[in-house]
Structure 1
C-alpha cells in the first residue's frame, strides 16, 4: 500500500510539474527558425484580406465577385487561403515551400468536389505553379500565376488540353485589400 501511495504521489507531482517543464523545454516550444529563410517569404505579397475582381482586357471590373483571405500559419511555414464567391462557390488551399526541392506546393479543394495539386517556383516577381486536373473531358494541364499588380495581387489561371501546345485563360482576377 505504501508503494502504491508513493507511485500515486510521484504521478501527481509529475502531472503538476509537467506544464512548467514543457514550457521550459526547448523541443516543446515553437521554433521560428525552421521557415525563416528568404525563400519562405516569396509568397508573402499574397497575404491579406481581399476583395476579388474579374479582369477583362487588362482592366479589373468595378464589382467584387468574391472575398479571399490568405493567412500565414504554422509559424510562417505555410499559407492558408479561404475563398468565397458571391454565388456560393467556395474553396480553400494550403500552400507551402518545399526547401529540399526548392518548389512551392499547393493543394486546392472546393465545395464542388474539385481537387487541384500544383507545384512551381518564383519567376521574377511572380509565383507560377502548374499541375494536372482530370475531369469529364479528360486531363487538363493548368498553370496559375500570382503577381503584385496595381496595388493588389493578380491571379491568372490557364488551361491546356493538348499537352501544353496551346493555352486558354480560365480566369484572370485581381485581389484588392478588402473594403469594410
Structure 2
C-alpha cells in the first residue's frame, strides 16, 4: 500500500469524525443512545448471575445446564450464555425496547434455532411470547420469576392459537457452586 493511501477504516473514521466535529455539543449528545438506568430497564436484573440449571422435578439430581447472564452495553442488554449437558449451547440477548414499551429477547443456538420473544413485566414476573416457526408456528410463552433460591423459568407451547397450553419445560436457576 503506498504511504499516502489510508486504510478504509481510517478514511471512515475521518469522515465520521469530521461530520460530527462541526455539530454543537447538544446535537452530538442527541446521537448517543439514551441511558438504560430508568427503573423499567432494571425489571429483569434479578436474572443476572452465574447459575446451575435444574429441572423442577429433579432438584436433587445434577444440573441439566450451566447458565451465565450478565449486563452488557452499558446495562442496556442482558446477555445469556446457556450450556446444556447434552451439547446444546444457546445465547440470548434481552433488551427493554423503550420505543415500543416492551421486553424483547432473541435466542439462538448451535443447532440453528432462532426464537424471538416479546412481552412485559406482569407482577413480579417477566412474561414473553413468541412463535416457534420450527414447530408449525406453535405459540410459545416463557416466564421468569425471582425466587428465594434463584430464578424460576417456565415455558409452555400452544398448537391451537393459545386456547390451551402444554408444558415445554420448568426449570430453576440456582447460584452456581464450584
> Given the alignment of the two structures, is residue 38 of structure 1 paired with residue 45 of structure 2, yes or no?
no
Measure the CA separation in 2 of the matches of 1:94 and 1:47: 12
Shift of 1:74: 0.5
**Is the Cα–Cα contact under 8 Å of residues 132 and 139 in structure 1 kept in the other structure?**
yes
Q: Deviations over 1:105-161 (max 9, x none)?
A: 0000011111000100000110000011112x4111000000012420011110000
Partner of 1:110: 109
Partner of 1:178: 176
Normalised to the residue count of structure 1, the TM-score between the two structures is: 0.79
> Given the alignment of the two structures, is residue 168 of structure 1 paired with residue 169 of structure 2, yes or no?
no
Measure the CA separation in 1 of the matches of 2:84 and 2:133: 23
How many pairs are equivalent?
154
Measure the CA separation in 1 of the matches of 2:35 and 2:151: 27
Gaps of 5+ in 1: 1-14
**Is the Cα–Cα contact under 8 Å of residues 32 and 75 in structure 1 kept in the other structure?**
no
Measure the CA separation in 2 of the matches of 1:134 and 1:61: 34
Gaps of 5+ in 2: 1-13
Partner of 1:11: none
Secondary structure of 1:36 counterpart: coil
Measure the CA separation in 1 of the matches of 2:148 and 2:166: 23
Secondary structure of 1:79 counterpart: strand
Secondary structure of 1:75 counterpart: coil
Partner of 1:68: 67
Normalised to the residue count of structure 2, the TM-score between the two structures is: 0.80
Measure the CA separation in 1 of the matches of 2:74 and 2:33: 6
Measure the CA separation in 1 of the matches of 2:33 and 2:117: 26
Question: Equivalent residues in 2 for 1:12-23 (5 A)?
Answer: none
Q: Deviations over 1:1-54 (max 9, x none)?
A: xxxxxxxxxxxxxx9xx9xxx9xx9959xx796111100000000000000000
Measure the CA separation in 2 of the matches of 1:32 and 1:148: 29
CA RMSD for the aligned pairs?
Answer: 2.2
> Given the alignment of the two structures, is residue 153 of structure 1 paired with residue 151 of structure 2, yes or no?
yes
Measure the CA separation in 2 of the matches of 1:62 and 1:127: 27
